[in-house]
């Protein structure tokens, strides 16, 4: 968990004798909740907790303030557009219905492995929600399927048991529609996009990595290049439970689309991912030359210098091999 900032919390005791958070007041769009409130373990996020509407509590409302008095002068109620990132402690096992309703700027949610109970429409209208961080081993059960079931847009899931990611998976967007079947006036459900099938590759709370990887070939027929490239890069960079066959498939895809991939990374100023591609010998030759030129022209001195350095090293290495062969 991150360092806790000054905050004010309204809460109540739940039926288990622990704490349910009702409202949160802070100074930042990044919300870090403590594992305990006034000695009670924080286990639940109440319905509509971070929505504009408040849920009527069914027991006594309590108040807890953390931080020095001068630090709490500027606390504001955090809900809807005031929230961008939320870190829940491992103690939280339940999120109530519509807890994040209309939080249109929320983009990241960090949770523990024991969060399994998620109420209906908990993430309704969270238009920017694109990333879940799980503080648990990639092979352990978690509540990630319950979250993915409520979000049909692109969603990146990062397993972060310690300081470094163990696995990162991109679940693509999918669409549902219902068509009337005449003359019976019945409705047939239609689903498009491989994101739905990828979301089914979670069994007993555990991600089926082989199943997820098997979705990729079919996704190549339907999904956008940018989506496929991100799926492939994530699996290659964090190859948890990645077998050699699927590794070759991902590498072949990245090699075939390397110039477009590298250009996007240059626009994003993602030097770390570019370095990974270069070290894996996926970014080289003509593609490396083009990218060094593009970085130079895009007002990115650090990236341009690094790419030019790789290009110079590649040319030097080729010359050495040529001299040796001669």
Q: What pLDDT is recorded for position 272? A: 97
Phi, psi (deg, nearest 5) at residue 32: -120, 110
Residue 1 above 60 pLDDT? no
Q: What pLDDT is recorded for position 90? A: 97
SS3 sequence of 203-214:
ECCEECHHHHHH
d(CA 74, CA 191): 47
Phi, psi (deg, nearest 5) at residue 85: -145, 135
Q: What pLDDT is recorded for position 180? A: 64
DSSP state of 129: -
Q: What pLDDT is recorded for position 317? A: 81
Q: Which of 34-38, 161-165, 190-194, 234-238 has the lowest mean pLDDT?
A: 190-194
Pull the structure tokens for residue 19.
């704490």
d(CA 300, CA 312): 18
Interior/surface letters 192-205, b for 16+ CB within 10 angstroms, e for the rest: ebbbbbbbebbeee
Q: Return the closest-CA partner of residue 205 out of 111, 291, 285.
A: 111
Per-residue pLDDT band for 182 (boundaries 50, 70, 90) equals low
| pLDDT tens-digit series, residues 110-141 | 999 999 999 999 999 999 999 999 999 999 99
What contacts 214, CB < 8 A, 6 or more positions away? Answer: 201, 246
| pLDDT tens-digit series, residues 244-289 | 999 999 999 999 999 999 999 999 999 999 999 999 999 999 999 9
d(CA 93, CA 146): 12
Residue 167 above 60 pLDDT? yes
Residue 190 above 90 pLDDT? no
What residue spans of the chain are helical by DSSP H?
144-148, 195-199, 209-222, 225-237, 244-256, 258-267, 271-279, 285-297, 301-325
Counting Cα atoms < 13 Å in the Cβ hemisphere of 205 gives 13
DSSP assignment of 144-167, as one string?
Answer: HHHHHTT--S-EEEEE-SSSS-SE
Average pLDDT score over residue span 184-201: 79
Helices 271-279 and 301-325: crossing angle, nearest 10°? 10
Helix %, strand %, coil % of the chain (to 5): 35, 25, 40
Q: What pLDDT is recorded for position 64? A: 95
Residue 81 above 80 pLDDT? yes
Q: What pLDDT is recorded for position 324? A: 52
The pairing of strands 40-45 and 36-37 is antiparallel
Distances (CA, A) of 180 to 174, 175, 191, 193: 20, 17, 14, 21
- What pTM was computed for the model? 0.90
Residue 172 above 60 pLDDT? yes
Mean pLDDT (the chain, rounded): 92
Greatest mean pLDDT range, 1-15, 69-83, 156-170: 156-170
Residue 53 above 80 pLDDT? yes
Per-residue pLDDT band for 36 (boundaries 50, 70, 90) equals very high
Q: What pLDDT is recorded for position 192? A: 78
Average pLDDT score over residue span 177-191: 63
Higher pLDDT among residues 71 and 31, named by residue? 31
Q: What pLDDT is recorded for position 191? A: 76
Per-residue pLDDT band for 210 (boundaries 50, 70, 90) equals very high
Collapsing DSSP to helix, strand or coil, 84 comes out as coil
10 Å Cβ neighbour count for 162? 8
Q: What pLDDT is recorded for position 59? A: 78
Average pLDDT score over residue span 214-228: 94
Contact 229, 268 (CB under 8 A): no
Contact 103, 50 (CB under 8 A): yes
d(CA 99, CA 88): 13
């Amino acid at each position: 968990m991150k360092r806790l900032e000054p905050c004010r919390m309204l809460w109540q005791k739940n039926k288990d004798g622990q704490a349910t958070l009702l409202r949160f007041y802070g100074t930042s769009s990044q919300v870090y909740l403590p594992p305990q409130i006034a000695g009670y373990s924080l286990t639940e996020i109440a319905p509509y907790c971070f929505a504009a509407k408040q849920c009527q509590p069914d027991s006594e409302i309590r108040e807890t303030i953390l931080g020095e008095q001068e630090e709490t002068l500027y606390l504001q109620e955090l809900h809807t557009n005031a929230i961008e990132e939320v870190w829940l402690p491992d103690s939280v096992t339940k999120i109530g219905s519509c807890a994040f309703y209309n939080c249109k700027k929320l983009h990241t949610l960090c949770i523990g492995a024991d969060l399994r109970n998620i109420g209906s429409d908990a993430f309704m209208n969270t238009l920017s929600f694109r990333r879940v961080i799980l503080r648990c081993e990639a092979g352990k059960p978690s509540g990630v399927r319950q979250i993915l079931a409520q979000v049909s847009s692109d969603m990146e899931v990062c397993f972060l048991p310690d300081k470094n990611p163990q696995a990162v998976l991109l679940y693509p967007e999918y669409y549902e529609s219902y068509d009337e079947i005449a003359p019976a006036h019945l409705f047939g459900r239609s689903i498009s996009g491989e994101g739905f099938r990828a979301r089914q590759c979670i069994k007993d709370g555990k991600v089926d990595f082989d199943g997820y990887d098997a979705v990729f070939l079919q996704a190549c027929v339907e999904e956008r290049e940018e989506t496929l490239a991100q799926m492939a890069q994530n699996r290659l960079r964090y190859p948890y439970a990645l077998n050699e066959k699927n590794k070759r498939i991902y590498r072949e895809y990245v090699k075939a689309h390397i110039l477009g991939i590298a250009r996007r990374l240059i626009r994003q100023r993602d030097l770390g991912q570019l370095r990974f591609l270069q070290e894996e010998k996926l970014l080289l030759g003509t593609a490396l030359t083009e990218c060094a030129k593009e970085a130079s022209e895009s007002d990115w001195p650090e990236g341009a210098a690094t790419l030019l350095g790789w290009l110079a090293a590649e040319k030097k290495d080729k010359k050495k091999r040529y001299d040796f062969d001669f």
